Structure 1
Amino acid sequence: MARAAEAWTVIKRRLVEFAVVCLVLTWVPWAVLGLSGANVDEGAGSLVFSLAASGPSLAALVMWLRHRERRRRGHWSWRWPVAAVGLGALAPFAACVLSGRLPDLPGHASSVVAGAGGVLGAAAYTFLAGPVSEEFGWRGYVQPRLRQYYGPLGTSLILGAAWGLWHVPLYFLPGTGQHDDGLFTEQGLTFFLALFPLTYLMLFVTERLRGGVPAAILVHAAWNLTEQLVPPLGHAVWLELLVVTATAVAVGSYWRRTLPATVR
């Protein structure tokens, strides 16, 4: 009992340390950019912004090196890449279809890809801006430590809240998509609410399907890319939230049914 309490104390201390490193690496540069009025879309401002956006993954690297901890690796299987891409793309695409915007998708997607410098440019940006820069921290470092003491739902609620909090400064930084959407809008509210079921889906593919961080990167990339390729959803963002929440509930039901009775 005492040993378990001591282990949890160590984990909490490491998580707090991770949070401090992550916020210093991210929020401080973003604050400097915002206060200086720097352009985050080009030049030095863009470079600083991109490095700061990698705060979660960089913080995980610092923690792994500092404490010489082993990083958990995924298990290769055809199931988790397919599930990751499908679960990530489903809600934005379904919202596009249900809202009647499907006929506009080809034209909008073509313009987005062209604006990103072609297919390779769009793919590179999709993976680096968010998935790779964040997931080694959220799903690689924080998630497995929370899972030692919390169930899937508890872990998803805590990690989803932390993930959302980390994004808040972007709503006050001109030049970002979040700033354009606005914090106190439908887009802002549904963005934060969607992080909770999305976190649960990432937990499913990383843990239940044993895909590890690569699976989380695929879910994150599929979500981001599909959201960019489909036409602006407008009020249909609520459909997107409904679909991703229903998907998480369905996945949770499946996960529970397939767990051995001894660990339910």
Structure 2
Amino acid sequence: MTTSAVASKTVTRRRLAEFGVICVALSWGPWLLMQLLGVPVDEGAGQLVFGLAASGPSLAALVMWFWHRERRQGVSWTPVWFVAAVVLGAAAQLLATALIGNLAELPGHASSVIAGAGGVLGAAVYTFLAGPVAEEFGWRGYVQPRLRQYYGPLATTAVLGTAWWLWHLPLYFLAGTGQHEDGLFTQQGLVFLLELFPLTFLMLFVTERLRGGVPAAILMHAAWNLTSELVPPLGDAVWLELVAVTAVAVVAGWWWRRTLRA
């Protein structure tokens, strides 16, 4: 490795470390204070603080882009990644629901969820802001392309998937969050951890291979989150969701490798 390459890798590592520190400070700091002070996450000012803290990854990326005047990842505006992001985001949970025979219950459950969110518009706005927009400029827009400068798809998936889960870790101890409700040392908690890795790979697939960039990651993340709310709870069959999303990721990986060889 040349001297310039070593220097470039050192800079990249330092920038990723800076991103990590900023992201943790913006997210974990407020969450820790909310836990210590007993501030509810879904009421008044607590809801606003929680939402801003949940935007730590994207806000950290914004800080880094302006601080170092770095260029952002380009996007190819084609319908291919748009369709793929929606399908890949929804397929696993719909498949798991079909396998346990709960598809007939989907319309009624989905209608109830949408009504509780204030209608279709309310559900759509919440779905895109709570997670996709709040996180993906950081994970897929900043961290992923820098990891890909030096690591292959699988290594990038392992590193980014681990970082993504660790960022969620404090939520298991913050009352009022979905993670706290599921519990850390439960079947649901373990499935949540493990499925982040195939999801990370699938987002790499739509952002890089299909050249959808951050918009594709946001759309796929939103499709996953929305589907998880609209389908009836899987209960003990939540493992089927993990198996399904892993199978989808394997198929996407096979196609990616096959097209590279062609």
Q: Structure 1 length normalisation: TM-score?
A: 0.98
For residue 254 of structure 2, what is the aligned residue in structure 1?
Answer: 253
Q: Name stretches of at least 5 consecutive residues in structure 1 with no aligned partner.
A: none
Backbone CA RMSD of aligned residues: 0.8
Give the Cα–Cα distance (whole angstroms) in 1 for the partners of residues 57 and 155 of structure 2.
20
For residue 115 of structure 1, what is the aligned residue in structure 2?
Answer: 116
For residue 217 of structure 1, what is the aligned residue in structure 2?
Answer: 218
Cα displacement (A) at 1:260 = 4.6
For residue 47 of structure 1, what is the aligned residue in structure 2?
Answer: 48
Cα displacement (A) at 1:39 = 1.1
Q: Which residues of 2 match residues 119-198 of structure 1 at below 5 A? A: 119-198=120-199
Give the Cα–Cα distance (whole angstroms) in 1 for the partners of residues 212 and 119 of structure 2.
29
**In the alignment, does 2:56 pair up with 1:59?**
no
Letter in 2 for 1:38: V
**SS of residue in 1 equivalent to 2:134:** helix
Cα displacement (A) at 1:103 = 1.7
Give the Cα–Cα distance (whole angstroms) in 2 for the partners of residues 72 and 197 of structure 1.
22
Letter in 1 for 2:124: A
Question: Matched residue pairs, number?
Answer: 261
For residue 74 of structure 2, what is the aligned residue in structure 1?
Answer: 73
Letter in 2 for 1:224: N
* Structure 1 segments (4+ residues) deviating >2 Å: none
Residue deviations 1:209-264, cap 9 Å, x none? 00000000011000000000001111111100001101111110110011157xxx
Q: Name stretches of at least 5 consecutive residues in structure 2 with no aligned partner.
A: none
Give the Cα–Cα distance (whole angstroms) in 2 for the partners of residues 99 and 260 of structure 1.
38
Residue deviations 1:98-149, cap 9 Å, x none? 1111121111111110111000000000000000000000000000000000
Q: Structure 2 length normalisation: TM-score?
A: 0.98
Counting aligned pairs with the same residue, the percent is 71
